[in-house]
Structure 1
């Protein structure tokens, strides 16, 4: 796969054009920022798109309350270093009710991710929302357009997607509608990593192999980020192994992979040689991706 600077430069230019076009049409834009590799690259693209000014929108992080602690530290350092505005939103009612991934499964995702996101967008009154989803992540993602229209309830209908011939985007919306914009639609996981290497972008430490305490579940390694909150199954004991992540979510339901790739160059090589999807690290996606499509139709990003 071509990952030369000219190829990456073309991807960069396309994403910057998408960012600028969306901002020109928006009244109140916002960019979702999880501090994962995709949203970090997307935020860097925004910095380049609007330099020397800072991006004309804040970053929004929907905190599930079960985030990796090192990821939150990386998030705060990234925002501080780049002088960006950050809004952190959590479903405080769900937090008080003790909604968690161990006891509540998909209900937890709906309450602490989907409903929290919808509430944050409604409270902020945002009309154009940038997200870092890529079409190669999972088959449901491939149904998205770059400019994806949502109705007043944030519902996504794949049958109502607008054509985008010759990279012409229809940004007109009716009252109550919003647009979710995906500047990284034509990028792959390898492109993200190669671009970060090319532009010397620092990614969260969780993407690099380190010795971490893990338990093995369903063929994945679950990193015990907070032992006081971990629900161990009978007979489970944490074992220290060299692992890293390809995708990041809530720590109890995100699987790490065994790895010795401790720098970005070796991560690029290891990922290029892998035949597995990065999305396999999301333990709660479901086996066939149908659950993710249902979540998206409910408002999940």
Structure 2
């Protein structure tokens, strides 16, 4: 068994374990590469039976159109159940207010927690990996969240060998991360091996972008450009997918999976370090968001 096959086996075991212990599971599906891989693994875990739980997308309203199109095609292709939790609806109702910087990344947390409460989900599958960021490096595979959705590192349980603990009190839930031990390179090698379809923005294409804080951000209706920021047309791709207003592109000529793999192997920067403006707010930006219920 090679390295990728071993990771796949571990992830399939995690998904089956969580689904067996938690009757109201849901899979977070943003249309990004990590959630695409988790979905692929989940479909494999239960084949030929249908997926036993629905998908949930927290829609900021600031998504890349290519990603939403991919999401809808994927749901239709596999005949999946999809719940969409809309940030825009909560803003329109007055429950949430727009941030001064225009980013809706942080607004996803209360919308996610409301959806979890409304549907009484007890296990929430996500595509987070420990190699992404230091607060995620200390995340458990089965991560306990309290009744407010808060992640408290002091309340996490030991995970010895492949023994996972999904126990939680009424109102609490667990986040389950089948890709915890994967790296970005592992994900792309698996995408290539399994021929998993992805949104086009993961591959090099010409796009209008502008430079801010060392990143190429997407020119559009949200987030810029600000006065003095010059829009240029460059060949770029996206290493990670999030809110358009805070997800940076990287200059690239990689149009195929094999070329992306070579590019990642040679890069000195992590994907979030290279492309997520929301992580640059502070050294603890991700951990602060996770304590508020973030993915």
The residue number in structure 2 matching 1:115 is 110
Distance in 2 of aligned mates of 1:196 and 1:289: 31
Please report how far the alpha carbon of residue 159 of structure 1 lies from its aligned counterpart in structure 2 after TM superposition: 1.1
Conserved? CA contact 1:101–1:252, under 8 Å: no
Distance in 2 of aligned mates of 1:181 and 1:136: 16
The residue number in structure 1 matching 2:271 is 278
After superposition, residues 150-169 of structure 1 pair within 5 angstroms as: 150-169=145-164
Find out whether 1:140 has 2:153 as its counterpart.
Answer: no
Find out whether 1:8 has 2:4 as its counterpart.
Answer: yes
After superposition, residues 96-115 of structure 1 pair within 5 angstroms as: 99-100=97-98, 103-105=101-103, 108-110=104-106, 112-115=107-110
Distance in 1 of aligned mates of 2:236 and 2:288: 31
Distance 1:39 1:197, change over 3 A: same
Q: What is the SS of the residue equivalent to 1:145?
A: coil
Conserved? CA contact 2:102–2:223, under 8 Å: no
Distance in 1 of aligned mates of 2:101 and 2:181: 37
The match for 1:184 among 158, 173, 179 is: 179
Distance in 1 of aligned mates of 2:294 and 2:222: 25
Conserved? CA contact 1:101–1:109, under 8 Å: no
Please report how far the alpha carbon of residue 101 of structure 1 lies from its aligned counterpart in structure 2 after TM superposition: 5.8
Find out whether 1:63 has 2:89 as its counterpart.
Answer: no
Please report how far the alpha carbon of residue 235 of structure 1 lies from its aligned counterpart in structure 2 after TM superposition: 2.8
The residue number in structure 2 matching 1:294 is 288
Find out whether 1:18 has 2:14 as its counterpart.
Answer: yes
Distance 1:15 1:239, change over 3 A: same
Distance 1:100 1:254, change over 3 A: farther
Query: What are structure 1's unaligned runs of at least 5 residues?
Result: none
For these two proteins, the number of residue pairs brought into alignment is 292
Normalized against structure 1, the TM-score is what? Answer: 0.93
Q: What is the SS of the residue equivalent to 1:8?
A: helix
The residue number in structure 1 matching 2:250 is 257
Query: What are structure 2's unaligned runs of at least 5 residues?
Result: none
CA-atom RMSD in angstroms: 1.6
Distance in 1 of aligned mates of 2:100 and 2:233: 22
Normalized against structure 2, the TM-score is what? Answer: 0.94
Please report how far the alpha carbon of residue 139 of structure 1 lies from its aligned counterpart in structure 2 after TM superposition: 0.4
Conserved? CA contact 1:102–1:231, under 8 Å: no
Deviations along 1:42-73, one digit per CA (max 9) or x if unpaired, are: 00000100000121000100001111111100
Please report how far the alpha carbon of residue 102 of structure 1 lies from its aligned counterpart in structure 2 after TM superposition: 5.7
Distance in 2 of aligned mates of 1:246 and 1:102: 26
The residue number in structure 2 matching 1:233 is 226
Could you tell which deviates more after superposition, 145-154 or 88-97? 88-97
Find out whether 1:247 has 2:240 as its counterpart.
Answer: yes
Please report how far the alpha carbon of residue 247 of structure 1 lies from its aligned counterpart in structure 2 after TM superposition: 1.0
Conserved? CA contact 1:209–1:243, under 8 Å: yes
Distance in 1 of aligned mates of 2:134 and 2:101: 28
